[in-house]
Amino acid sequence: ETGVTQTPRHLVMGMTNKKSLKCEQHLGHNAMYWYKQSAKKPLELMFVYSLEERVENNSVPSRFSPECPNSSHLFLHLHTLQPEDSALYLCASSQDFPRGGFFSGANVLTFGAGSRLTVL
Amino acid sequence: GENVEQHPSTLSVQEGDSAVIKCTYSDSASNYFPWYKQELGKGPQLIIDIRSNVGEKKDQRIAVTLNKTAKHFSLHITETQPEDSAVYFCAADGGESGGYNKLIFGAGTRLAVHP
């Protein structure tokens, strides 16, 4: 395990279902991220939380709703998804969120293994 | 915004050969370029990174080169081994157009090392 745990590892849901993805990190990191990974496409940043405050929201449809109750936990709530939302959803964390235009060792991303989502 | 293109999308080599993966970026202000390795069933893991004030960096069998003028950077793996088989992603910070605090990823290269 990399220190970032994602559950469930696999999820199949219908378009009218409501489900949630969970991410937990025990690394003492202050920033957490959701990425979407689709086949043969670049990783897409969805949301970023720094110290439990959302700092990035990359034009993600409202059917995806993130929640960060504390610095160790991150959720992605899913509602009325479309088949094209089927993908691997990766959670990541870093010691700190990069600020001031400079990536340091504290900004290195540690990824979880992902949650494979299939929308029927 | 920043755009990162990665080639090739798939690469097959014999064990012991070298492998090279190339990426180009569009924003000349980008200054941080990491490489991630994703093994089957796992999340991506940082293997090496380089900053714009450095032209080359090595770590054992892995090296990364950066050409700021041409806006491209490459990953070189020497003496490949079967355990090098994975998907490799390059990335660049977003620069002035995409935001320095964001990483823009390439689409990935699937490397297969055959014994």
pLDDT per residue, tens digit, chain B (115 aa), is: 788 999 999 999 999 999 999 999 999 888 899 999 999 999 999 999 999 888 999 999 999 999 999 999 999 999 999 999 999 999 998 887 777 778 999 999 999 999 9
Which residues in chain A have Cβ-Cβ distances shorter than 8 Å to B107?
40-42
- Mean pLDDT, chain B, as a whole number? 94
Handedness of CA A107, A112, A113, A115 (dihedral sign): negative
Which residues in chain B have Cβ-Cβ distances shorter than 8 Å to A45?
102-103
The SS3 call for residue B78 is coil
% of chain B beyond a pLDDT of 90: 81
A45 touches chain B (CB under 8 A): yes
Cα(A68)–Cα(A49) distance, rounded to whole angstroms? 7
